[in-house]
């Protein structure tokens, strides 16, 4: 069974499963016990059990028809708690109702638990009602001996304590596993130096693009004379140049656009739902900032420029072809003297 990948999906599908499971299994248990009670002239007990089995099925059907899983699970939790209290108070058959109260209380916790505080609230309410029924002079309550009353309270208290710890650990585990998975996914999709997307991250981002993101524009950028920077100032200075350009890109592009360090000194930017002219305008601005800015590394001060090829991207399927075309235009910009942006529409320096 697929429970999902996010904590929300996991919790939703878990509740769907529990509602269906408890509805079916609960009916298979409650209906025979209800019929046996009716046959043995325990009319009230039998009617309560059969009525609860019908509620189980109705809750399950309602959750499937309306998709209101969380709300139905709370109703199911309340029903299980009320039935458990009833069986403790009524006693069932010669006081045996208490044995069925434990699985019902478990249902109440599993379907009603959303946090440790909510679980504690449910437990205190349940235990308060049970204690009141057992020790207060309430008419109609089964007569348990003093020893049995104290053991019922102690047993249910221990049961709730273990159930709450188990549910709390389950939710904390979901969160820890999800956080770890998201961190690993982020590490796998991002460049460790610039924290921009890497190739894998960019390709996954393109794969998630929808029709409203097109037409888009893709541009391949390459820092000019990057090898010279490394040779003259050292590789750490080259890293500083990469970080400077990455910061310029982040500062001038929209949050929904994609920025990638494609490899080495090469970057790819993808503008969603825009024209070539708008993309060129942004790239010119970034180019001017990079050209006029000073990069300081130790006692060294230098600036940097980049060359770029820019093409229109019409669909996700055309991404790799557009990348190849943008790469060719980048090569043309390098051949024309660098520090240039070459557009695909007119195939000239802009």
pLDDT of residue 349: 46
| Average pLDDT for the chain | 89
- Across 119-128, 139-148, 225-234, which has the greatest mean pLDDT? 119-128
pLDDT of residue 347: 56
- Share of residues in the chain with pLDDT > 90 (%): 67
Q: Is the overall model pTM greater than 0.75, yes or no?
A: no
* pLDDT per position as a tens digit, 174-209: 778 778 877 777 778 899 999 999 999 999 999 999
Locate all alpha helices (DSSP H) within the chain, ordered by sequence. 7-39, 43-66, 69-90, 97-112, 116-135, 146-189, 199-207, 226-233, 235-252, 276-292, 319-335
Q: Kindly indicate the confidence band of residue 115, based on its pLDDT and cuts at 50, 70 and 90.
A: confident
pLDDT of residue 3: 64
3-state secondary structure of 212: helix
- Share of residues in the chain with pLDDT > 70 (%): 96
* pLDDT per position as a tens digit, 223-264: 999 999 888 888 888 999 999 999 999 999 888 899 999 999
Phi, psi of 295 (to 5 degrees): -105, 120
pLDDT of residue 348: 46
Q: For residue 197, what is the DSSP state?
A: B
* Domain definitions of the chain by residue range: 7-186, 199-343
Q: Shortest CA distance to 108 belongs to which of 96, 93, 123, 94?
A: 123
pLDDT of residue 346: 55
* pLDDT per position as a tens digit, 319-347: 999 999 999 999 999 998 999 999 877 55
Q: Is the dihedral of CA 234, 240, 244, 245 positive or negative?
A: positive
Q: Kindly indicate the confidence band of residue 108, based on its pLDDT and cuts at 50, 70 and 90.
A: very high
| Rounded mean pLDDT, 82-106 | 92
pLDDT of residue 5: 64
Residues in the chain: 350
| Rounded mean pLDDT, 77-106 | 92
Q: Kindly indicate the confidence band of residue 159, based on its pLDDT and cuts at 50, 70 and 90.
A: very high
Q: Shortest CA distance to 93 belongs to which of 59, 138, 45, 141?
A: 45
| Rounded mean pLDDT, 68-91 | 93
Residue 9 has pLDDT above 90, yes or no: no
Structure tokens at 77: 């939790």
* pLDDT per position as a tens digit, 262-303: 999 999 999 999 999 999 999 999 999 888 877 877 777 888
Residue 50 has pLDDT above 80, yes or no: yes
* pLDDT per position as a tens digit, 53-71: 999 999 999 999 988 899 9
pLDDT of residue 1: 55
How far apart, in whole angstroms, are the C-alpha atoms of residue 131 and residue 121? Answer: 15
Q: Provide CATH code, domain 199-343.
A: 3.30.70.270
């Amino acid at each position: 069974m697929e429970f999902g990948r996010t904590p929300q999906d996991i919790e939703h599908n878990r509740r769907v499963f529990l509602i269906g499971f408890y509805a079916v299994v609960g009916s298979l248990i409650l209906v025979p016990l209800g019929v046996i009670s009716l046959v043995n002239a325990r009319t009230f007990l039998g009617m309560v059990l059969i009525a609860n089995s019908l509620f189980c099925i109705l809750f399950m059907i309602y959750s499937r028809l309306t998709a209101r899983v969380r709300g139905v699970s709370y109703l199911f939790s309340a029903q299980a708690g009320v039935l458990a209290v009833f069986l403790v108070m009524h006693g069932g058959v010669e006081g045996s109702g208490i044995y069925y109260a434990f699985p019902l209380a478990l249902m109440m916790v599993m379907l009603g638990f959303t946090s440790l505080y909510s679980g504690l609230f449910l437990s205190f309410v349940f235990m308060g009602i049970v204690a009141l029924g057992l020790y207060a002079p309430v008419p109609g309550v089964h007569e348990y001996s003093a020893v049995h009353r104290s053991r019922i309270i102690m047993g249910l208290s221990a049961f709730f304590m273990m159930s709450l710890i188990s549910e709390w650990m389950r939710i904390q585990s979901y969160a820890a596993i999800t956080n770890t998975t998201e961190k690993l996914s982020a590490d796998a999709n991002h460049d460790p130096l610039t924290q921009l997307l890497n190739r894998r991250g960019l390709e996954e981002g393109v794969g998630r693009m929808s029709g409203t993101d097109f037409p888009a524009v893709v541009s391949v950028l390459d820092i000019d004379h990057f090898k010279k920077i490394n040779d003259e100032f050292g590789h750490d200075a080259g890293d500083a140049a990469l970080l400077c350009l990455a910061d310029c890109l982040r500062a001038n592009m929209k949050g929904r656009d994609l920025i990638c360090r494609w490899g080495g000194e090469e970057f790819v930017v993808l503008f969603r739902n825009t024209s070539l002219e708008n993309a060129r305008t942004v790239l010119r601005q970034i180019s001017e900032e990079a050209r006029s800015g000073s990069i300081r590394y130790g006692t060294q001060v230098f600036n940097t420029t980049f060359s770029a090829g820019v093409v229109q991207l019409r669909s996700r399927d055309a991404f790799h072809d557009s990348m190849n075309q943008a790469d060719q235009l980048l090569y043309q910009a390098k051949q024309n003297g660098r520090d240039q942006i070459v557009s695909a529409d007119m195939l000239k320096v802009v």
